[in-house]
Each structure stands twice: as structure tokens, then as C-alpha cells.
Structure 1
Amino acid sequence: MTEKADYMIQRRSLAAVAVAVLLVVAGCSGTSDQSPDATTTATTVGEINPTTTAQESDASQMALPAGVTANGLENASALVTAHNRSLADRSYRFAFESNSSEYSSRIRAARGLDATLLVANSANTTTRSWTQGSRTSMVQTADGERGYRLVQGEYESALGFDTYADLTRAVLVTYLRVGEYETTDVVTRDGTKLVELTATGINRSAVDQLAGEESNVSVDAFEARVLVDSDGVVHEFEATVTETVDAESRTNEVGYDLSDLGSASVERPDWASSIPQLNATITEDGAVAIEHTGGPAVEDGTRLSMATDSVVDGAQLSKLSAGETAYLYVAETADGQRDVRASVGDRPSSDQVALNLSESDRLVISGTSRNVSILLQPEN
């Protein structure tokens, strides 16, 4: 679990933990665009898993995952660790949603062999992201306005599959810790045997640890059901929690569903064609080469800013179309000052480059073309 995900589960009510996973959507902004939006289908918690059928009640009929015994869940952390390890580098889809009187949020996501796709809805905001390699293309719609983003490299602003998978697991481990679970059944889902765990009570010490000593939160009722395979992969989780927060009663429903394990595939979404696909690398002479591999042109006059550990400056770019390469580099002026320059098609010679950018500890290229914000971390 990432530090960001771990932070989000500290000192919160259970409902707030579930809500927080989707409120991160609001941290990504964009500019207006009126092109039509792709539709998404809402799925209620109760509709998440219609195909599971009960088979046996004897858990001894299957190998039990880490943290689970024939009596119940004994170590939630061990189970979630096994879940994370089993999913590493495997393709799958997952759905998550949280419904309460205050918020309604949902995620639909898939990881294929070489790409990931995500749709996240929260309040009046919808975020879509598609990641392939080191590049993430995003579109966000809020209050009828739309903005696009292209991110190359590792940034928190790239709200893609991995970010939401981590945050969803933070919710999962929290809800597993605060319940007392018994092993109640063995079921079969799509040919896979799963052990069923059912919450029979509340782990008060875990709730107190989560909420803090001076908390104004009390958990009044907790119901949950988990389906997990012998490798520790949680295939389904459903929970309903009723809390009192500042003397006000609140109920929150949480649902998680995993499917297509080992067989999920991801295709490039249609909306990604609205984003220029750029790939930034550093040449052997120390300039940044920005290759345009597809999509709309970067418009003439776009200013690209360069931030390094020693230079913060930028230059205007002439129109950059698919199939072309732009170069951004640091030159030296006649009076010995450093100046960032840009060219399209004309690669600078080693004599023109005054600073080898491959030696920089930090290098970020940013800019905005029409309604697309661009953030690139060049690869050496």
C-alpha cells in the first residue's frame, strides 16, 4: 500500500474512508470542451455479483488463503498482502462503489497486458484515464466542462489505475480490520472456489485505533461479506456500516468486485484521440526530444516550460504535428547567459547545447495546447 493510501485511512470514520477514495478525483482540473462524453452504466452495490452460486459449507474442501482459518479471518493484513501479491502483474477488472446519503462514488477499471483503463465518478466529476507504458492520457468532465491531460512519468496528478487500486485496497483493509469475521461457506464463481467470510461483530479495538482516542465517531452496526480464493485474491466484498458522527447517524454501503482475472484486455478509448501523444527523451547531446506519435497537433505558439535543478525557463514552439519531433534545449547567449530554445524538425548540434539535461536531478516539461495540459518527464 502506498503512503498516500495509508494516510487516507488514518483518523477517519469508516464512511469517510470509503468516500475519500473517490474525492481525490476533484484534485484534477482542466479547461472547457463541449465534445460529447462517453456514457457509463451505474451499478448498485446489490448488482455487483449476480453469478456466484453456493456449493459447500465445509471450508476444509479448499486450501485457505493467508490470514484465514476454518473458523474465520484472523489476520486482515496478511490477507490483503496476499491479495496484493497475487494481483501483481496480472490482468483483471475491478469495480468499487460507495453509496451514502452524502456521497455516491464509483470506479470501473481494467488492467490488460500492456495498458490500463479507468472511469471514476464522484459527485459532479467524471475522470477517465488510459495508461500505456509511461504515458497517461486523461479526460475530466466537471459541471459540463471538459479538460484533457497528458502525463509522462510518475506524478500524483496521473490519477490512473494504480492510484485507485491502491486507494481501494486501503478501504478494503480498513473494513476487514474493523469486523469480526467467521468462515461461513464455500462458493463457486466462474469455476473458481471461494471461501465466504461473514461479519458477525465489530472489532472495537480496531475501530478505536482508526478513529483516535478523542473521536466523535461510534460504529453502531456493521454487516459485511467477503469472497476470497485460495491465493488470497478478494473477488467480492460488500459492507454496510451505520455510524454516529457528532450525534448524527450515517449509513454507508461499500461494494468491491473483481473479475476477468488473467484474461482482461484493454483497448485505446476513442476519447484519447483528442490528446496529442507525445514521448519525451533526452538525446546523447543533452537536449530533450519530444516525438509526436499521433493525435492532434500541438498548436503553434504553445509555450513549453522547462524546470530543472538549475534552470526554470521556457520557449515557444511552432506547430508540432504527428510524425514530427520537437527539440527543447539550453543554449548560451552572447553575454554568457543560459536560454531555453525550441525547434521543430531541426535537431540542435552538440555545439548549440550548453547544458546536458541528462545530468539534471530533476527535469519536467510542461505546457498547454488548446484544452490539453501537458506534463512530461523525459526518459534518458
Structure 2
Amino acid sequence: MPSTRSLVPVALALLVLLAGCTMPTGGPSPTDTPTASEPTDGEPTPSQSPTATDAPERASPPGVTESELENATALLTAHADALRETGYRLDVIRGATQTTYVAESDYDAYRVVLGPTATNPAVWANESVAVARETQDNETVYHRPPRLWPNPARMTGSEALRTLFEASEYTVNGTAACGDRTCTVLRAEGSSRFENFSARALVHDSGVIHQFHASYAADGEAREFHLVLADRGNVSVSRPPWVDTALAET
């Protein structure tokens, strides 16, 4: 009689072989395992998640929501702080009068440069002294104003911008290029304070206002205001020739 002990290994081998042959052909195998590009059960996979190459959502400037200017004070504070940190050159035009403000970082040196029709004093300052030149009764007069004069609110345009921002409601109107950057566009039409009011601003997400243009009427007189950021960062303030005379006479 054949030994039953010798049949056990053979029987086990047959069971294993038959089990492999009867596996359903549609079942998962090591090569059928879902990969990162094959989502299962509707759940997102790593390939569906945002990657470093996806364009991030743009942040809104301080004080600006997705739809409107909500807090002009927050925006103007960010604008003034950012310009002070880097230094800048800013042109402010009221009608036919242009004033250019040039400042190094933290106002270590600055200038107020007047256009041909401007009547405000021209100013130059370094870290220790400020001198001003103006015309009074057709005579050139020099004096020494406070070290930081006019104040940053005037030099960054924030003083005038506050009045114009508070005069109307500004809504977000898409984006536009401002130099090599992208800015949020703010638009306003109509005002309870001024007649025929229309304004447009280009604002970077840092809060820096690169451009602002407004036209309106006040007391029956047509007016315009323009602010243009001409340069920011690596700004050097030159010393005008009249400074030596101003220092000697004051």
C-alpha cells in the first residue's frame, strides 16, 4: 500500500496550482494596482492636487476685498510704509502743476523737485539737515524747515489720495500691468462730494499705488489729479546746486 505521508505534499501542490487557475481574470493583480494618475472612488490623487507649477491665487492689496476698496486707511498706510522702506520717485500732478518727490530708503535723503508752475518750496535734505528754496515777491528765499518736511503723507501722495478715495466708492475692475508687475485695478464713477467724478487706480498687492488718475469738478471748476510712481528701490538723491547758497545764508 502506498504511503499516505508521501501523498500530502503532492496534494498541497495541486491545490495551490488549481487556486491560481481559478482566480477571476478581472481581479486586481500587482500590475492592476491604481497609480497616482488613476483616481479611485472619486477621491483626488496627488496628480490632481495643485503643484508648484500651478499659478497661485493673487492676494488682494491691504484694505481691498475681491470686489471693492473697503478700508482706505489700511491701503494708504501700506502704500506709505512700503515706499519708505525701499525709497522711491513719485510724480504728483494737479492740473498743470507737477511736483516730484524723490526719497532714499527711510528718508535718509530726499528732495522735493518743483515743476515750472509750482509755487511750493523746493526741498533737499540729507541725514542731518534740510534746506528749502522758494520765491517770494520775485525774490529767492532760503530757510531750514524741520528735518522731515513736508511729512510722508504729503510726499507719498497719501494726503491727497485720502480725500479722493473717500469721495466715492471704488470697485475692483480686473488687473493690469504696472511695470513688470500685475496690479489690481480700482474704478470709481460719481461722487457725493464732487461733480463728474471719475477715478482709476493701479494697486500692487503690497499696497503700493503705482498710478492714480482722477478728473472731477469742484465749485464749478474742472480739476485733475494724477499720481505716477516713476521708480522704486535703489533711488539716489542728488544734491542740487542751490544747496551751498542755502546753507550759507540760513
Taking only aligned residues, the RMSD between alpha carbons, in angstroms, comes to: 2.5
Does structure 1 residue 106 correspond to structure 2 residue 118?
no
Alignment match of 1:267 (pick from 238, 247, 250): 238
> Contact 1:96–1:106 at 8 Å: present in 2 too?
yes
- Residues 41-81 of structure 1: CA distance to partner in whole angstroms, max 9, x if unpaired? xxxxxxxxxxxxxxxxxxx9521111212212122222112
Amino acid at match of 2:99: I
Alignment match of 1:86 (pick from 79, 82, 104): 82
> Contact 1:124–1:142 at 8 Å: present in 2 too?
no
Q: CA offset at residue 258 of structure 1?
A: 1.4
Amino acid at match of 1:268: R
Matches within 5 A, 1:293-304: 296=248
Structure 1 CA distance, aligned partners of 2:217 and 2:120?
27
Structure 2 CA distance, aligned partners of 1:133 and 1:163?
19
Alignment match of 1:75 (pick from 71, 75, 85): 71
Percent identity between the aligned chains?
Answer: 27
User: 5+ unaligned residues in a row in structure 2: which ranges?
Assistant: 1-55
Alignment match of 1:238 (pick from 213, 227, 231): 213
Does structure 1 residue 193 correspond to structure 2 residue 182?
yes
Counterpart of 1:255 in structure 2 is 226
Structure 2 CA distance, aligned partners of 1:161 and 1:174?
17
Q: Which has the higher helix share?
A: 2
Counterpart of 2:200 in structure 1 is 225
Structure 1 CA distance, aligned partners of 2:169 and 2:153?
28
Matched position secondary structure for 1:171: helix
Structure 2 CA distance, aligned partners of 1:137 and 1:258?
24
Structure 2 CA distance, aligned partners of 1:116 and 1:194?
27
Distance verdict in 2 for CA 1:139–1:176, change over 3 Å: same
Structure 2 CA distance, aligned partners of 1:93 and 1:124?
17
Structure 2 CA distance, aligned partners of 1:237 and 1:98?
12
Matched position secondary structure for 1:275: helix
- TM-score, normalised relative to structure 1: 0.46
For the pair shown, the structure with the greater C-alpha radius of gyration is 2
> Contact 1:119–1:126 at 8 Å: present in 2 too?
no
Aligned length: 193
> Contact 2:174–2:184 at 8 Å: present in 1 too?
yes
Distance verdict in 2 for CA 1:228–1:83, change over 3 Å: same
> Contact 2:61–2:207 at 8 Å: present in 1 too?
yes
Structure 1 CA distance, aligned partners of 2:118 and 2:232?
31
Does structure 1 residue 172 correspond to structure 2 residue 164?
no
Q: CA offset at residue 160 of structure 1?
A: 4.2
User: 5+ unaligned residues in a row in structure 1: which ranges?
Assistant: 1-59, 208-218, 277-295, 297-371, 375-380
Matched position secondary structure for 1:174: helix
Matches within 5 A, 1:339-354: none
> Contact 1:109–1:161 at 8 Å: present in 2 too?
no
